[in-house]
Structure 1
């Protein structure tokens, strides 16, 4: 574990300023909800806030030198507690343990509890946690982190100060990809395909998903010549792919590029290192690409938790639409 300071966080300047001012003016809420997509700095901001609240020489940001900052850097600070889901769930025993810790007297500093993935609270745990929010402990702040805040109990939402984190800009994500041996154009493409998420961009690069673009695009461009049996085989294979959600995002990006290029806006194409722009296209071609994009997004939504739709059937339906589009192109 390393020390995170507000100055280390990319993007969301307004959010960082809001939190820093709350600390400086001694107006820190007893409970926050850091809401926003994955990989946009929510967790980093929570750690930076914990470090700042306990820093012995705070001056707009944690100093990084005092005993408190060193303890944070070593992951040994008694005032900092992280609660993580186990097997995708935050169960009541975790909340009971947290309540016990919060009942202990705080000797010095400011206790910060970070509940990561708050949307994974099971019903019993959520109800128990609500009591903690209703009876705040002096000198303690609870930070809930969630990518799906609307799934939380309304009573939890009403008792937490919501702070919205936005997706990062392309240049901000690119700046975080300095360790990757990629051209500037490839880094830009990875950043744009990440949806403003540093985590998503790095995971796609680390797992080789980004490198599969060319093969993926070529395979789907040939769908128009496939028969029904081949479509069924392709659907079954894709449904079993561990990276299916990431691949669908890449595929959406490819059709988005073809739509943009079809409108004669080649400068806005993301996968320009792969897509050979054909310039303005016909109305029917662009309409078809738009239909394909919508079909991919519908499939993605239907197989993304908590929906858990039938993957094979969902992908098969999507591929049938894409085959019709490619056959007419």
Structure 2
């Protein structure tokens, strides 16, 4: 079911849509912008379903003919724009599926709705081709552009659309969802929530990812024992990370969260603030063997590695230098 009340977070956008439905003040073009996984498509679908619902209320009823068509994926007046080329949405795509089609009145609904996912892939030519449709649409036409980057749109398009920006969800909302719906442990919910940074879709994906679990095991072992590791063991751990084909940015983010916990414990002694609550023994040990200045140097070293790897510096060299900084500052 696609009810606004069932969508987590995004209260301002949901309220905006419900007000538009109640007052029948619907814009002809919307840009929903936010990270992948934040719920852009879910919000657009809920609004589209409510617009076509025969009940005429701010929430779709889910039982009328229109709602049943929508839920089955066969609504004749809701068009999901496809594109042949994986890296772009071109003029031919929008001309065939929107510009030529929009002149045909809805079959059975008050609106004809077009949903363009990955709209950041629209070429400049395709956007220019759409301008007349956005400027002078038929009364029944509603366009949704779902994008991770609204800055990629031409100013002429942006000025003619209602722009709605999705905001990150609160951590407690995401953690609660993971525990209630994905049935993950309290510890894993904490880690996935911290990693997701307010993105529910990313948190759900991480909670079911075997690769993410493997990454935690490998990186945690390294972090817990780096102070006692000889250089050859560090090199072996880095080799394991590389051979496991782990996402190195995720590994580095994980390291930052680990040292964030150490810093928080050193400053407050409050274990309730931990992300890695199950690792209290190791966090306390490392906190006792490091200084505030040392932890700051380690966090700076992790940031520096990210920059170096983006610049294609040798992986082993960059990572070994970072681990040596860790080792030197945990004494």
TM-score, normalization by structure 1:
0.84
Match of residue 97 from structure 1: 96
Corresponding residue to 1:216 among 215, 219, 233: 219
Instruction: Provide closer, same or farther for how the CA distance between residues 10 and 83 of structure 1 changes in structure 2, counting only shifts above 3 A.
Output: same
Residues 250 and 148 of structure 1: CA distance in aligned 2, closer, same or farther (over 3 Å): farther
Question: In the alignment, does 2:300 pair up with 1:291?
Answer: yes
CA distance in structure 2 between the aligned counterparts of 1:119 and 1:299, rounded to whole angstroms: 28
Which residue is 2:66 aligned to? 68
CA distance in 2, matches of 1:130, 1:326: 58
Aligned with 2:163: secondary structure? Answer: strand
Kept in 2, the 8 Å contact 1:79–1:111? The answer is yes
Residues in 2 aligned to 1:186 and 1:274: alpha-carbon distance in whole angstroms: 12
Secondary structure of 2:137's match?
coil
User: 1:321–1:189: structure 2 CA closer, same or farther, 3 Å change rule?
Assistant: closer
Contiguous gaps of at least 5 residues in structure 2: none
Equivalent of 2:27, from 22, 26, 29? Answer: 29
Q: Aligned with 1:38: secondary structure?
A: coil
Write out per-residue CA displacement over residues 150-174 of structure 1, whole angstroms, 9 at most, x where no aligned residue. Answer: 2332222222111111111223223
Deviation at 1:141, TM superposition (A): 1.1
Aligned-residue Cα RMSD (Å) equals 3.0
Partner of 1:234: 238
The yes-or-no answer on 1:253 pairing with 2:257 is yes
Tell whether 2:171 aligns with 1:170: yes
> Could you list the runs of 5+ residues in structure 1 that have no partner in the other structure?
303-308
Deviation string, structure 1 residues 35-54 (Cα, Å, up to 9, x no partner): 12222221111000000101
Contact 1:209/1:246, CA 8 A, preserved across alignment: no
151-160 or 64-73: which moved more? Answer: 151-160
Q: Which moved more, 1:122-131 or 1:33-42?
A: 122-131
Match of 2:113, SS state, is strand
- Structure 2 partner of 1:267: 272
| Between structures 1 and 2, the one with greater helix share | 2
TM superposition shift of 1:29 = 0.9
Structure with larger Rg:
2
Q: Which residue of 2 aligns with 1:180?
A: 182
Over 3 Å counting, the alpha-carbon distance change for 1:233 and 1:277 in structure 2 is: closer
**Residues 32, 144 of structure 2: 8 Å contact kept:** yes
Summarize the Cα distance change of 1:201–1:57 in structure 2 as closer, same or farther, 3 Å threshold: same
SS at the partner of 2:142?
Answer: strand
How many equivalent pairs are there?
319
1:266 deviates by 3.6
Paired residue secondary structure (2:219): helix
Moved more, 177-186 or 195-204: 177-186
Q: Decide whether the 8 Å contact of 1:299 with 1:318 is kept in 2.
A: no
In structure 2, do the counterparts of structure 1 residues 316 and 203 end up closer, same or farther at CA, with 3 Å as the change threshold?
Answer: farther
Partner residue in 1 for 2:86: 87
Greater shift, 286-295 or 70-79, is seen at: 286-295
Q: Deviations over 1:90-143 (max 9, x none)?
A: 233321222222222234321221111111223333333334323323211111
Select 2:196's aligned residue among 171, 194, 197.
194
Q: How does 1:126-145 map to 2 (within 5 A)?
A: 126-145=127-146
3-state SS, counterpart of residue 92 of structure 2: helix
Q: Does the 8 Å contact 1:106/1:139 carry over to 2?
A: yes
264-273 or 198-207, which deviates more: 264-273
Change (3 A) 1:214 1:90: same
If the length of structure 2 is used for normalisation, what is the TM-score? Answer: 0.83
Q: Report deviation, 1:73.
A: 0.6
Displacement of 1:9: 0.5
Deviation at 1:31, TM superposition (A): 0.9
Q: Deviations over 1:182-208 (max 9, x none)?
A: 223322332222111121112112222
Per-residue deviation at 1:231? 5.2
